[in-house]
Structure 1
Amino acid sequence: MSYKVAIVGATGNVGREMLDILAERRFPVSEVVPLASSRSIGMEVSFGDKTLKCKHLDTYDFSDTDICLMSAGGSVSKDWSPRIGAQGCVVIDNSSAWRYDADVPLIVPEVNADAVAGFRKRNIIANPNCSTAQLVVALKPLHDKAKITRVVVSTYQSVSGAGKEAMDELFAQTRSVFVSDPVEAKKFPKRIAFNLIPQIDVFMEDGFTKEEWKMVAETKKILDPKIKLVATCVRVPVFISHSEAVNIEFENPITADEARDILREAPGVLVIDKHEPGGYITPHEAAGEDATYISRIREDATVENGLVLWCVSDNLRKGAALNAVQIAEVLMNRKLLTPKKAAA
């Protein structure tokens, strides 16, 4: 069986990554259709050894399309996803538009693949926030072993999480610093080159940012509503890959050695944890990789049952494009979706 797949937002960072990952993982496609806004019609994108031209989302007929990978922002998804779903095409959405809808599964395949079963209510499946995706992949096997009660996470998030304009701004500002030109901040509220910005997304009434709120709400929906979580999300001058320092409290005892052994066997996880200089993973090394890397696993002596760890993952892949393709693979492998051409 092969599926007709449309990609909305095919010219963006995540859209291009989706095309690459579909090809890399040899997802069985009968046809791939890149879709974009009017300003990108005719723009060429790569899919394996093929070059595809973008078509206009506004005029595209989804009635013979099986899967739509949506990566065009929340407002576009709010408008289009229900319409696409109504035509019998399953939308796997990368925006925040549907994550908190009770009728829309929020899925990380290594963590809660069974929850995908409810997708037919709207024909929409949500991808979590990039910082949440890697976090729950790391937490799930430890939660199964010792039951997590509380998590304190500090994120170090790359600029690619804010899109191509953000990556361009880091590049331009870095160059300006070196040649002593004025440094302009457009995408970010302050200079990002050689700096840190303790704000991602807008501020809420309680002083937390929406990015921090997302991590709380999404972890509860994906993993366990009883887990207490608090986050501080920071933008750092790194192009690709998010990093997280994670403090975890458990109901039951668990040692660092036990956690290390559990995580080594966990799906989607690679443990690189040597107690020596360089015996850990950095964002640069995780870029372009599929795994969620775990390093610096150690016991927290300040609480009764506590661990601390370092978690790094490519936010464009596991945090977005890879996770979306993995969801499509779940639909295929569990025979939850029959290609329309096969059904006809």
Structure 2
Amino acid sequence: MGYRVAVVGATGNVGREMLAILAEREFPMDEIAALASSRSVGSEVEIGDSGRKVKCQNVEHFDFTGWDIALFAAGSGPTKTYAPIAAAAGCVVIDNSSLYRMDPDVPLIVPEVNPDAIDGYKKKNIIANPNCSTAQLMVVLKPLHDAAGIKRVVLSTYQSVSGSGKAGMDELFQQSRAIFVGDPVEPETYPKQIAFNVIPHIDVFMDDGSTKEEWKMVVETKKILDPKIKLNATCVRVPVFVGHSEAVNIEFEREISAEEAQNILREAPGCMLVDKREDGGYVTPVECVGDGATYISRVRDDPTIDNGLTLWCVSDNLRKGAALNAVQIAELLGRRHLKKG
């Protein structure tokens, strides 16, 4: 006996990836509904590589009664309208937007990191998926924190344009083409040219000079992993289609060597250590696309502080940063609370 699952925002990048991962991981489903806005009603979306297709239904008119899980990949606006409706109908919402992440009554989950927190979902019948850049970072920090206690993290992210959805990917493609053929470049999605450039600006600016993306990484790390951890991030958009990268500097409470960290990360769930000190002995975002792991490379001691390490990590932001993490939450929810059969 399987679940009845609805995917809200099924025509977007993350929604399509959710459908693919549900099929890929053979999530036990008796029925699936693809939901989208009125302009996508009747269009078909494919469920993985099975060749099976489903027609999109209008989320405005959908009755969530009797459905077990709704995976939301529709952004904060639609989520604010429809997630409470689904939750009130008894359907557990797993939301990929930022809307509920810092709600104290909504668990914010990375299954490899804080699975027990999911038990609090019944307060609102909603579970939040973290920010894409936070999700991959948590998988790396958790086993190191358990081993040596993290005091402080300073990192820079190199985030792909797929984090901005289809519009960001289209803009990178169109600008790259325009530059090659000598056409003018007009930024629309981003405040400056993204092709052959990097932009140290993701989301809106806040009063202290940080961006909201940087703020999200701070507060989400505290909620998921440990409120005592201090974190400072600089988030940068780069001309890569898929895959987020992070250069991470960590200060620990206790001594830990690079070799010890490598051994820990080699065995950690969700992590894949590829760390050869030679040309090409590391992983780049191009190589992580389509994979669910967070790849870690360039682990080394930081001689400028006591108990310091530096490392590099990359992950497919549409997968572990969004769709895969949401499906893993659904699997965890099923094991712990919604057992069928």
TM tier relative to shorter chain: over 0.9
Aligned to 1:202: 204
Task: Tell me, yes or no, if structure 1 residue 337 matches structure 2 residue 338.
Answer: yes
Q: What is the 5 A alignment of 1:205-244?
A: 205-244=207-246
Aligned to 2:252: 250
Aligned to 1:282: 284
Q: Report the CA distance between 1:82 and its aligned residue.
A: 1.3
Partner Cα separation in structure 1 for residue 267 and residue 82 of structure 2: 40
Counterpart amino acid of residue 13 in structure 1: N
Task: Tell me, yes or no, if structure 1 residue 159 matches structure 2 residue 161.
Answer: yes
Aligned to 1:23: 23
Partner Cα separation in structure 1 for residue 228 and residue 339 of structure 2: 36
Task: Tell me, yes or no, if structure 1 residue 46 matches structure 2 residue 46.
Answer: yes
Task: Tell me, yes or no, if structure 1 residue 106 matches structure 2 residue 101.
Answer: no
Partner Cα separation in structure 1 for residue 240 and residue 339 of structure 2: 41
Partner Cα separation in structure 1 for residue 231 and residue 78 of structure 2: 30
Aligned to 1:116: 118
Q: Report the CA distance between 1:49 and its aligned residue.
A: 2.3
Unaligned runs of 5+ in 1: none
Aligned to 2:135: 133
Counterpart amino acid of residue 142 in structure 1: L
Partner Cα separation in structure 2 for residue 100 and residue 77 of structure 1: 15
Partner Cα separation in structure 2 for residue 65 and residue 264 of structure 1: 39
Counterpart amino acid of residue 337 in structure 1: L
Q: Which of residues 64, 67, 92 is equivalent to 1:65?
A: 67
Q: Report the CA distance between 1:64 and its aligned residue.
A: 1.3
Which digits, 9 at most, give the CA deviation of each residue in 1:233-281, with x for residues without a partner? Answer: 0000000000000000000000000000000010000000000000000
Q: 2:114 aligns to what SS in structure 1?
A: helix
Partner Cα separation in structure 1 for residue 298 and residue 318 of structure 2: 23
Task: Tell me, yes or no, if structure 1 residue 172 matches structure 2 residue 174.
Answer: yes
Q: Percent identity?
A: 68
Higher mean displacement: 312-321 or 78-87: 78-87
Over 3 Å off, 4+ runs: none
| Residue-pair matches, total | 339
Counterpart amino acid of residue 322 in structure 1: L
Partner Cα separation in structure 2 for residue 61 and residue 4 of structure 1: 12
Counterpart amino acid of residue 45 in structure 2: V
Counterpart amino acid of residue 42 in structure 1: G
CA RMSD of aligned residues (A): 0.7
Counterpart amino acid of residue 83 in structure 2: S
Partner Cα separation in structure 1 for residue 135 and residue 162 of structure 2: 16
TM-score normalised per structure 2: 0.99
Partner Cα separation in structure 2 for residue 17 and residue 77 of structure 1: 18
Q: 1:327 aligns to what SS in structure 2?
A: helix
